[in-house]
């Protein structure tokens, strides 16, 4: 019969880090927020060559998806990317859709 090795050493608990101070914690959270914030965009529809244009929807682009809310009538959409919204708002018939990114 094979013997199972045993140890007499006590297992040590993982070392816990001391709690962060208020300012350190606030700075850490600010960094997390900045790194994970979505990008804001508008879906703009245009007719003709600078004849008319309007905002058809607003959206938030996350790393793995985009959430789009139409202005006026329509259904909120969760799409794989912001660019996917263009197929729903570029209706043809002279109406073109484009994305306009807001902010940095």
Mind listing the pLDDT tens digit of every residue in the chain (104 residues)? 566 656 555 677 778 878 888 888 899 999 999 999 999 999 999 998 878 999 999 999 999 999 999 998 889 999 999 999 999 998 777 899 999 999 87
Q: How many CA atoms lie within 13 A of 32 on its CB side?
A: 6
Long-range CB contact pairs, 71-75, < 8 A, 24+: none
What does pTM read for this prediction?
A: 0.72
Q: Report the C-alpha gap between 59 and 46 in whole angstroms.
A: 18
Give residue 73's pLDDT.
86
């Amino acid at each position: 019969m094979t013997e199972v090795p045993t140890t007499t050493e006590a297992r040590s608990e993982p070392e816990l880090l001391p709690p962060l101070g208020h300012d350190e914690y606030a700075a850490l959270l600010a960094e997390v927020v900045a790194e994970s914030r979505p990008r804001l965009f508008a879906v703009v529809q245009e007719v003709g060559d600078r004849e008319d244009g309007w905002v058809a929807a607003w959206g938030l682009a996350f790393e793995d998806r985009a959430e789009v809310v139409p202005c006026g009538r329509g259904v909120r959409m969760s799409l794989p990317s912001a660019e996917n919204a263009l197929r729903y708002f570029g209706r043809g018939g002279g109406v073109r859709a484009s994305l306009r990114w807001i902010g940095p």
